[in-house]
Amino acid sequence: MQMTNIKRTEQLIAVINDIHLQFSQDYFETGKVEKHNLSKTVVPTEHILRYRLNLHESINDYLAGHNLDGITYYYRVKTSESIHDKISRYAKNNDQYPVNNWMNDIFGARMILCTSDIEQIIELLDEWQNTYGLKNWYLRDKPEYRGLHVYFKNKSNFCFPWELQLWDKNDVAHNIENHRLYKRGFVK
């Protein structure tokens, strides 16, 4: 039986959620790393960068332990330059939001799907949020960018959330251009 894109997406969500939980336990529960409550706004930059580096060095080992055959996805670990850029942008806000609300994509994955798959997934996400204990999800639908964002947190304010973006194949070129203009301003 051939797996549908809906099942592939659910499987990727399950795997990312599992890896997020395992990595978070391996990283934060060793006693070697100071834990910070990310629901507070002030978290040392060094804490974020150390987490990023450890994740960058180990993510492929975690991914290799899971069956993702037949699932096309892309992923990245945010660069330290991008983290510094994001910290400086959010530090300028008058309203200081908790770190886990804006530093929510140190790990990011993306799937490209057709419109009907995205529509079906939107109908399933509340159920998947309960099943997998996801932090939240939302559809960003603006003229310059359109994407479905799913966040993984495993119900802990000490673990950085991760993100899965689901893009409609009709929005790819426009979304990439938007990222180039607004998310990569630190690249000169």
- pLDDT tens-place string over residues 32-84: 898 999 988 788 899 999 999 999 999 999 999 998 999 999 999 999 999 99
* pTM, full prediction: 0.92
Query: Cα-flanking dihedrals φ and ψ of residue 31, to 5°?
Result: 85, -5
Identity at 56, one-letter amino acid code: H
Round to whole Å and give the CA distance between 165 and 130. 18
In the structure, what pLDDT confidence band is assigned to residue 90 with cuts at 50, 70 and 90? confident
pLDDT, average across residues 114-136: 95
Per-chain mean pLDDT for the chain: 91
Of 49-53, 138-142, 175-179, the poorest mean pLDDT is in 175-179
CB atoms within 10 A of CB 19: 19
Where along the chain do its domains lie? 5-182
pLDDT at 174: 92
d(CA 52, CA 186): 18
Q: Name the band, by pLDDT with cuts 50, 70 and 90, for residue 89.
A: confident
Q: Which of 115, 133, 126 is CA-nearest to residue 5?
A: 115
CA atoms within 13 A on the CB side of 72: 6
At 161-171, the pLDDT tens digits run 999 999 999 99
